[in-house]
Structure 1
Amino acid sequence: MAEAAPRDTGISDVDRQAFATATGVLAAVYIALLMGLAEPYWAALSVMIIANVDRDALFTKGVLRITGTFIGVIGGYYVGQWAEGLPVMQAALVTIAAAVGTYGRQRSAYGYAWFYGALTFALVMLYTMTTPDQLYSFAHYRCYEIVIGVVCGTLASWALGPHAGELHARLKTQAAATTALNAERQSLIAGVGALTIVIIWSLFDLPQLPQVLISSLIVVDSDPLATRHRGFQRILGCVMGGTAGLLVILIDASDVWWWASMLFLGVFSFARIHLSKSEQAYIGTQSAIAFLATLVSASPPDSLDPPINRLVGIVIGVSIMTVLVWALNPQKPAETPA
């Protein structure tokens, strides 16, 4: 007798994965809070960032994110101690990390690990520059937060996402995004941008230096036109997600049930956009990130300062890097990968 075909429930893979992502975020946040971790936001962010309808792609991003984070944290911690009190050396290390991470992201088969390893290293360096007394706690807790987020996101996807119950997963390599020459050019721009941001921050005491740096590096793309478009989407998404988070806080963020329900609903809604194949998918990505940054902290949110500072940081970082992309890239289409 022939085996019956699976029943069509009418629920799309995007909806399933969005539901799994929201569930994973809520689980990661509560676990991080119960463990008393400093920044549960990073656990929630990890769930969101690795989310993918393709199970193998999700698994690969999770493994590479953990690998890159551990390498960046360990290397940054020991090098940071050596470079403490040497601002020129610290700025040079941030510049090199930004350049190396950008090049590896565009040329390596495991570019995600290269990028987040370098980005984590740079963040640790920034802590040695701004709050060296918190270096150990940042490095220590960051590893826990990332692992919790990746594990919760992966398990939620396996249990609730597309093809739920199928536990197979394998690492997927990626092809080079561009030529070596173009990758070198973009890595140079990323390094110059990182150094520019550090100098401007030190001169004008700008808010949220880590957020400024993260925002600027994430938008650097192998195609300069894509960088400009992504920069606009990042700002728009930040406004959307930040506004949604502010509304939740203004209504009553101290009510745990309201906060948890809105956190789940907001992540689900933005994840559906993030997981779609539309040209506006990145708006959903950034909206979710800003929404999480607004609502998730070590205690119930009671201030508008974090989302406002985050928005300022994103606008500054994206603007600086976009100007450099326009100025340092030739006015011609991106080259075909070789």
Structure 2
Amino acid sequence: MRKELWIDAAEAVASVLLATVAAQWAGVAHVGWAAFSAFMVIRPNFAVSLQRARLRILGTLAGAFAGALMAVHFAGPGFVAGLLLGTLVFVTMYLTLLWRHPYAWLFTGLTFLMVFVEGLSVHKVTPATFAISRIEEVLIGTLASLLIGYVASRTWRSASPCGSPCLNTPGLSWHARGAWHSVETGFTVFWLAILPYWISGPLLIQAGVTVIAAMSVPLPALDDGRLVVFIRLLHRVLGCAMGALLAAGILLVSQHNPAWITLGLCFGVAIGRYVENGPHTFGYVGVQFALAFLVVLVPDRYALADTVPAEHRFLGILLGFGLLALTEVLFGGARMALGAINRRRSLARH
């Protein structure tokens, strides 16, 4: 088991390194996002990697196109922009919870939010340019992971099963608890279309990603109430804090030396994947550790490496945490009020 975990980690390291080199050669805007796409797509089963790559690309294309198309119709932040953002995130969250291909719907909502919020902010690039950049980064990362996965499936994993993954694709149906959960998600991100007056775009985008990622839980988990969402949030904060701190320490020690940064990159990615796949319940900590680590340590150019991305990411996570807490207070009060009304009606009947 432990040997298998380290093989998985080595494949993740190779995918991230290939994506980083390719992204820097292509001159994309955010090399770290390409590296993280490679980290998230590569899996021991090549068929699973291929499926994740396809859904991630399709979701990114749909979200980027919709976000760029909608953003040009808004001159800036406002109530109507918030309604549109909240509505689309509500729809994509509901489809993520209840319909087929949830990974694609998740990235449709995530990418739409990123492009749309960037369009509402005081930005240096147009929404279309930002959308194209996201597509390029995802394509480079996913293709790098597929190349490594294909080589692995033909060599050291040739004896491993690599058939198509078993998919559960039920038809779309009404689910009251899933709908309520999706409404809460849409309501939370609504505020991101108001806050650009006071808060910078990168922080708002990270807050939105935090909200959607934390609320994207398996449908059966909603039966446990709100506990699963807040455990996921705590794991996200913990993983990002540890990943950002390790990356910042490597930057300070390496003095921007490419060789040392690359060695540190390999170490951090291997640790993140090992924790993600370990025999425990803290796998999400490993994912978030790797994401924060890559955002900090994988700069567009090694000479420009600094800790500012980590600061933005962590502050954005805290902002997302605060917005979710506000939503929980408001919706929790609404649930209590509705429960009291129903009890009074029940008593009145008797």
Q: 1:40 to 1:204 in 2, by over 3 A?
A: closer
- After TM superposition, give the deviation of residue 327 of structure 1 in Å: 5.2
Partner of 1:129: 120
8 Å CA contact retained: 2:8, 2:44? yes
Partner of 1:116: 107
- The answer to whether the aligner puts 1:75 opposite 2:66 as a matched pair is yes
Q: 1:302 to 1:153 in 2, by over 3 A?
A: closer
- 1:21-40 to 2 correspondence within 5 Å? 21-40=12-31
The one of 307, 312, 315 aligned to 1:312:
315
Partner of 2:348: none
Partner of 2:149: 157
8 Å CA contact retained: 1:91, 1:195? yes
- The answer to whether the aligner puts 1:217 opposite 2:212 as a matched pair is yes
**Higher mean C-alpha displacement, 280-289 vs 317-326:** 317-326
8 Å CA contact retained: 2:79, 2:194? no
SS of equivalent residue, structure 2 residue 281: coil
8 Å CA contact retained: 2:79, 2:193? no
Q: 1:205 to 1:17 in 2, by over 3 A?
A: closer
Question: Kindly, what percent of the aligned residue pairs are identical?
Answer: 21
- 1:2-41 to 2 correspondence within 5 Å? 12-41=3-32
- Give the AA of the match of 1:173: L
Cα-to-partner distance string for 1:105-139 (whole Å, 9 max, x where unaligned):
11011011111012111211112101274323211
Cα-to-partner distance string for 1:170-199 (whole Å, 9 max, x where unaligned):
365345799711110111000010013443
Q: Distance in 2 between matches of 1:277 and 1:179?
A: 35
Q: Distance in 2 between matches of 1:109 and 1:163?
A: 32
8 Å CA contact retained: 2:295, 2:310? yes
- Give the AA of the match of 1:66: I
- Give the AA of the match of 2:252: L
- Give the AA of the match of 1:194: V
Q: Distance in 2 between matches of 1:33 and 1:262?
A: 18
Q: 1:327 to 1:274 in 2, by over 3 A?
A: farther
Please identify the structure whose Cα radius of gyration is greater.
Answer: 2
Q: Distance in 2 between matches of 1:185 and 1:173?
A: 26
Q: Distance in 2 between matches of 1:206 and 1:34?
A: 27
Q: 1:203 to 1:181 in 2, by over 3 A?
A: same
SS of equivalent residue, structure 2 residue 245: helix
Superposition CA RMSD, Å: 2.7
**Higher mean C-alpha displacement, 104-113 vs 13-22:** 13-22
The one of 130, 134, 145 aligned to 1:142:
134
Q: Distance in 2 between matches of 1:86 and 1:324?
A: 20
Cα-to-partner distance string for 1:184-219 (whole Å, 9 max, x where unaligned):
011100001001344345345586111111011100
Q: 1:167 to 1:124 in 2, by over 3 A?
A: farther
**Higher mean C-alpha displacement, 86-95 vs 68-77:** 86-95
**Higher mean C-alpha displacement, 91-100 vs 314-323:** 314-323
**Higher mean C-alpha displacement, 50-59 vs 223-232:** 50-59
Partner of 1:289: 291
Q: What stretches of structure 2 of length at least 5 have no aligned partner?
A: 337-350
- After TM superposition, give the deviation of residue 11 of structure 1 in Å: 6.2
The one of 60, 79, 95 aligned to 1:88:
79
* Aligned residue pair count: 322
Q: How high is the TM-score relative to the length of structure 2?
A: 0.83
Partner of 2:343: none
Q: 1:207 to 1:21 in 2, by over 3 A?
A: closer
SS of equivalent residue, structure 1 residue 219: helix
Q: Distance in 2 between matches of 1:25 and 1:75?
A: 28
Q: What stretches of structure 1 of length at least 5 have no aligned partner?
A: 1-9, 332-338
SS of equivalent residue, structure 1 residue 173: coil
Judging by fraction of residues, say which structure has more helix.
2
8 Å CA contact retained: 1:18, 1:275? no
**Higher mean C-alpha displacement, 88-97 vs 111-120:** 88-97
The one of 215, 237, 240 aligned to 2:239:
237
SS of equivalent residue, structure 2 residue 194: helix
8 Å CA contact retained: 1:209, 1:313? yes
- Give the AA of the match of 1:287: F
